[in-house]
Structure 1
């Protein structure tokens, strides 16, 4: 419920809330980005780790909250769908927008391509294996044939994989030679700015998602379509603003690192954390596997474009945005029954 029900729950209010919260998220993302840059300089973190860990974890807080709240309400499948839809949005739309706001190509580097992108594909595979093990060893009695219970021990698999990711990043920090001006950063103020940015983003995104859900209910948009497109884009807004802002400032590695790091966090931490909090949750592999397959294809597409010249050109940015339009068209086709690749969508 938007604003705790203090205002009439009508379309005009929902639209106004969307506008105000979007502006609030822009402000919060600016605070988050500035704080992350200062803290990374103070602690001597490379640009790629600044984007893939520090900024990514902060800007992924909406996805984490959505999974936890959905799992607590008994709608874990919707939470997973929103996260996967958000991941597709992050991989295709955010780099595409970042490439269009800059006059020059968005720069990447070998660390981003060969470590971040490939580890992210490993994260996708790890989550698919976790869901498959749930179907094999913990099938839901009386339910669909490909539905299994994801237990707390199974949720530990992606969490351990994220632990490996953090360990690799920590090793890279040890190998990095930081700039000499890091000691002049007011670290206490930077941490305060980081906390303020996260608070603004969380509150604004919660209200934004509520407003979007209100509009979805008013116009009768199907739940599956709304979850993997509209709600996914709403929760990805902080990632989009942070990445586009970084690309516009000429920090392409930080921009793209945020995209891949956010997705890695969402898949390996946000989803299993919901399981750890609630307990055993059912997952329909017939829905999850095709969606994860699309995410894999989208990631391979981004990886291929980044590897050609270690940059993202304007033409490649348009291609990524076009691929997302194809994804939305496929989801709409699934919703209206014109396409039937996802069983039970």
Structure 2
């Protein structure tokens, strides 16, 4: 039911609920991002850690909430679709828009290329291995052939890798010589804004997931593809806002660090948290792996572009947009039955 049962379910009301919920996600994420930025400055965190941890985790909260609500509603495939679709959007569209809005080329760094990007590719690989282990050791009886159950012990594997990621970032913070914190930062107020932003996002995402589930059931859209398209685009808005604004301010490291840090958090934390809450969830390997393959190709493309001159030029930005357009065309073709690379979707 729309608005926690206050309004009846209908196509029009659910479309309105999705649009309104998206707006509140944007609003809450703005509060969250600003408070995270001020707190990072207050505690003297380096720019790459600010982008890849503090701001990234904050702007990734919609994806985390979408996985949790989708899992509780028995639609984990939609949650996986939202995470993977959002990751592809983040890797291709957000750096492209960030590169386009800057007056000059979007500058990156060796830290972004050789630490953040490569660790993110490792995160993709570990998630694929986790899915494969679920199919091999916990097959679901009576389900399609390549369907396995991701259990809590399996969900710990990506969480352990994220623990390693946090340890690496902590080492960078220890080696960093922090600047003097700017005056006027009210720490208590910023922590309060952060908490309110999280609460607004939590409520809005619950309505967003419900609306997408209703429309998917009404129009016969598979859960995974609904997550990849509608839900992924809506939950990626905070990441886009944060990165584009950082790029416009001339801080390419924070902008790209947010993209890669958000994706790392989504894959290694958001999905496992959904499993830990529910207990175990089925994953269709035939549905998930083709999308993970696309995500891998998109990540390799971004890695190659960032390494070329350690910058992102305007032509390269448009190339990333063209790549995302090709992905959308492929998803539409899959939905219409023109192609059949995603078996069982």
Q: What TM-score do the two structures reach when normalised by structure 1?
A: 0.92
Aligned equivalent of 1:178: 178
Aligned-pair RMSD on alpha carbons? 2.1
Aligned equivalent of 1:76: 76
Map 1:86-105 to 2 at 5 A. 86-105=86-105
Structure-2 change in CA distance of 1:23 and 1:63 (3 Å): closer
Shift of 1:277: 1.4
CA distance in 1, matches of 2:150, 2:172: 33
Note if contact 2:84-2:295 (Cα within 8 Å) is conserved in structure 1: yes
Shift of 1:129: 0.6
Aligned equivalent of 2:323: 323
Structure-2 change in CA distance of 1:188 and 1:61 (3 Å): same
Aligned equivalent of 1:108: 108
Shift of 1:111: 0.8
Structure-2 change in CA distance of 1:129 and 1:261 (3 Å): same
Structure-2 change in CA distance of 1:122 and 1:103 (3 Å): same
SS of structure 1 residue aligned to 2:309: coil
Note if contact 1:209-1:234 (Cα within 8 Å) is conserved in structure 2: no
Aligned equivalent of 2:314: 314
Determine whether 1:192 maps to 2:192: yes
Determine whether 1:67 maps to 2:34: no
CA distance in 2, matches of 1:282, 1:13: 31
Note if contact 1:155-1:276 (Cα within 8 Å) is conserved in structure 2: yes
SS of structure 2 residue aligned to 1:3: coil
CA distance in 2, matches of 1:16, 1:70: 20
Aligned equivalent of 1:124: 124
Deviates more, 1:311-320 or 1:135-144: 135-144
Aligned equivalent of 2:135: 135
SS of structure 1 residue aligned to 2:341: coil
SS of structure 2 residue aligned to 1:4: coil
Deviates more, 1:81-90 or 1:214-223: 214-223
Structure-2 change in CA distance of 1:32 and 1:172 (3 Å): same
SS of structure 1 residue aligned to 2:293: helix
Q: Deviations over 1:185-222 (max 9, x none)?
A: 32212212222222233333433444455555666555
Q: What TM-score do the two structures reach when normalised by structure 2?
A: 0.92
Structure-2 change in CA distance of 1:67 and 1:338 (3 Å): same
Aligned equivalent of 1:285: 285
Aligned equivalent of 1:206: 206
Number of aligned residues: 345
Aligned equivalent of 1:245: 245
The gaps in structure 2 that reach 5 residues or longer are none
SS of structure 2 residue aligned to 1:309: helix
Deviates more, 1:40-49 or 1:121-130: 40-49
